[in-house]
């Protein structure tokens, strides 16, 4: 019975969509004729993509992406931090996160030496370390 209801609802939805198309409801919408902006989830393993998308839509981030976000936050904090002890603490935290990202292995968005993101992190940390002296 539930299956019949779902088929009925799908049929009704399709009928309404077709009627709206005939009336021109979808004509001249913003972005018409432009390519869709699809998310690049190539770095996420295929078997995890749907789960990650559901989590993202619910406001949660996969650990790999959350780590990258946290790295950027720490780097921003380091750029504006003047207290030496706080800089050291943030750099230690950064080391832990980068190690965790590296140890995550092939199933992740872990960074390696050939990743432009890795080069950016190293460059920013090097600049910060030089500024600390």
For residue 124, give the nearest of 76, 65, 69, 66 by alpha carbon: 76
DSSP category for residue 115: S
**20-57 pLDDT per residue, tens:** 999 999 898 888 888 877 677 776 777 878 887 787 78
What does the block give as tokens for 117?
Answer: 């993101």
Is the pLDDT confidence value at 19 over 90?
yes
Give the largest Cα separation in the chain, rounded. Answer: 73
Its pTM stands at 0.42
pLDDT the model gives residue 108: 46
Task: Tell me the domain boundaries of the chain.
Answer: 46-132
Q: What share of the chain is helix, strand, coil (3-state, %, to 5)?
A: 70, 0, 30
> Cα(42)–Cα(69) distance, rounded to whole angstroms?
18
pLDDT the model gives residue 117: 64
**79-102 pLDDT per residue, tens:** 888 888 888 888 899 888 888 888
């Amino acid at each position: 019975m539930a299956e019949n209801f779902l088929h009925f609802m799908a049929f009704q939805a399709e009928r309404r969509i077709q009627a709206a198309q005939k009336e021109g409801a979808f004509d001249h919408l913003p972005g018409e004729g432009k390519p869709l902006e699809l998310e690049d989830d190539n770095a996420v393993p295929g078997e995890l993509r749907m789960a990650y998308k559901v989590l993202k839509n619910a406001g949660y981030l996969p650990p790999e992406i959350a780590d990258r976000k946290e790295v950027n936050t720490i780097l921003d904090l380091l750029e504006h931090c003047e207290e030496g002890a706080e800089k050291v603490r943030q750099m230690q935290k950064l080391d832990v996160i980068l190690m965790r990202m590296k140890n995550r292995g092939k199933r992740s968005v872990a960074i390696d030496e050939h990743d432009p993101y890795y080069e950016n992190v190293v460059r920013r940390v090097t600049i910060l370390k030089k500024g600390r002296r």
